Amino acid sequence: MPTQPLASGPHGPDALRPLLDTVLDALAEGRKARGGPLPAGGPEATARQVADALGDVLPDEGDPDGLRALVRLLAEGAADPADPLCAGHLHCPPLAVATAADLAVSALNPSLDSWDQAPGATALEAVVTQALARAAGLADALVTTGGTESNQLALLLAREAGHGSVQLVCGAAAHHSLARAAWLLGLPDPVLVPAPGGTLDPAALDAALTALPGPLLVAATAGTTDAGLIDPLPEIAALCAAHGARLHIDAAYGGGLLFSDRHRAKLAGLDAAHTVTLDLHKLGWQPVAAGLLAVADPAELAVLHHRADYLNADDDTEAGHPDLLGRSLRTTRRPDILKAAVTLRTLGRRGLGALVDQVCDLAREFAALVEAHPGFELYDTPVISTVLFRPAEATDAAVADARRELLHEGRAVLGRARLDGRLWLKATLLNPRTRPDDLAHLLKLVEGSTPR
């Protein structure tokens, strides 16, 4: 067995170059074999195909063809967000330049738990997180694995600001991770405020904040997962100020609107929050993971301070080594900020804003197609890039069957959302390369799979 080359060091680039060719060829082969947005046949067929191709997971002797074989297998079994008919979730097609930057992270493998494992990455993260936080009107940001971890940290900071307790109050359409974070942190179940039409009702919030004993944390949503709706942020911020409640805004989806001159105003009020969840692996075209938690008052992060002598000894910190343990609850941590920094630099605010504008335009076009079609019903005009629709007069069961049929045939990926007591199909348009023809094709596929 020849010695295995390393990814970095003097021979790293020469070792990686042919392997990258192998990976790129295998991606293309796998995509071709799949032939659509996802593999046909459903979970059993895919599991069988994977098991058959894998064979012995840990063979006694190595297989030099393993890279090609398994990358091809993954690609063949992928739901590819770069396919225009893959529009089910907040699952974006990553930009090539961001993915290439992520390769550099894998090659160098810096770890952001101590400065001596990541000198440059530490400095880069400090500057870029501050710039992104300021773009949202806040002061600093922690890097997270996504909206779920950001929401958890927001709740933790609120609990500590409340000296060990806080009552979470959120709209009925808030993300599930908030309730889960309350459970994880030993906090009471959230008080759910009605969200008629999908957004938090300010009058109901006022009543809840009047009735509840503090300390209180209101979590508003800028871009609901189901419908892409934005809670009335300025009104909510005013109510929080009047009642002395903390405000967290979950902008995991809508945060990307900050890059767009046309759509930024929809986020008015964001800068009134104590904490804001941002997620660049949604409306930011980053490979997973690319979450942030922006904070208005960096001094609040002091509660995350933690000492481990092998990582942040007092004398190292006094000598000027940045103390990284207080910037995450994780220890070993990738510099996920590199791909975001590369993206910001390469595309600029205008380039990113143009991508945001494109997917918002696509959603309006798709909504117009649905509205013009007598066989379909549109939930509402899209606010971001989510379109909810359903075949007119179909039962909920027929809507659910139509979606599953498209998945099982490998023809389209659509999401589902229950709103107004009915089941809707959800198209989350995050692919700026999608063409009007693709949207018409998507609607035709749904039409063809709905029983009359």
Ligand X SMILES: *Cc1c(COP(=O)(O)O)cnc(C)c1O
Site membership for ligand X, residue 91 (CB under 6 A): no
Nearer to ligand X, 26 or 340 (CB): 340
Q: Which residues make Cβ contacts (< 8 Å) with residue 379, sequence separation at least 6?
A: 227, 387, 388, 389, 390, 419, 420, 424
Nearer to ligand X, 151 or 449 (CB): 151
Site membership for ligand X, residue 253 (CB under 6 A): yes
Q: Name the minimum Å distance from CB 374 to ligand X.
A: 32
Nearer to ligand X, 122 or 221 (CB): 221
Contact status, residue 147 vs residue 252, Cβ threshold 8 Å: yes
Burial of 399 (0-12, 13-18, 19+ CB in 10 A): buried
Residues 158-187 that bind ligand X (CB under 6 A): 175, 177
Q: Exactly one of 113, 125, 140, 279 binds ligand X (CB under 6 A); which one?
A: 279
How many CA atoms within 13 Å lie on the side-chain side of 117? 18
Paired tokens of 297? 């008052």
CA–CA gap between residue 424 and residue 405 (Å, rounded): 15
Site membership for ligand X, residue 221 (CB under 6 A): yes
Site membership for ligand X, residue 147 (CB under 6 A): yes
Q: Exactly one of 39, 77, 84, 146 binds ligand X (CB under 6 A); which one?
A: 146
Q: Which stretch binds ligand X (CB under 6 A): 77-85, 143-151, 330-338, 365-373?
A: 143-151
Q: Name the minimum Å distance from CB 148 to ligand X.
A: 3
168 pairs with which residues across the strands?
A: 217
Q: Name the minimum Å distance from CB 441 to ligand X.
A: 26
Site membership for ligand X, residue 336 (CB under 6 A): no
Nearer to ligand X, 34 or 426 (CB): 426
Site membership for ligand X, residue 291 (CB under 6 A): yes
Whole-number CA gyration radius for the chain: 23
Q: Name the minimum Å distance from CB 222 to ligand X.
A: 8
Site membership for ligand X, residue 93 (CB under 6 A): no
Number of residues that bind ligand X (CB under 6 A): 15
Q: Name the minimum Å distance from CB 282 to ligand X.
A: 6
Q: Which stretch binds ligand X (CB under 6 A): 113-121, 127-135, 140-148, 152-160?
A: 140-148
Q: Name the minimum Å distance from CB 11 to ligand X.
A: 36
CA–CA gap between residue 99 and residue 109 (Å, rounded): 15
CA–CA gap between residue 204 and residue 21 (Å, rounded): 58
Task: Match 């390769």 to its residue by tokens.
Answer: 103
Site membership for ligand X, residue 390 (CB under 6 A): no
Site membership for ligand X, residue 273 (CB under 6 A): no
Q: Which residues make Cβ contacts (< 8 Å) with residue 178, sequence separation at least 6?
A: 151, 155, 168, 170, 190, 219, 250
Site membership for ligand X, residue 432 (CB under 6 A): no
Total Cβ atoms within 10 A of residue 351: 13
Nearer to ligand X, 76 or 201 (CB): 201
Site membership for ligand X, residue 382 (CB under 6 A): no
Nearer to ligand X, 146 or 269 (CB): 146
Q: Which residues bind ligand X (CB under 6 A)?
A: 90, 146-148, 151, 175, 177, 221, 223, 225, 250, 252-253, 279, 291
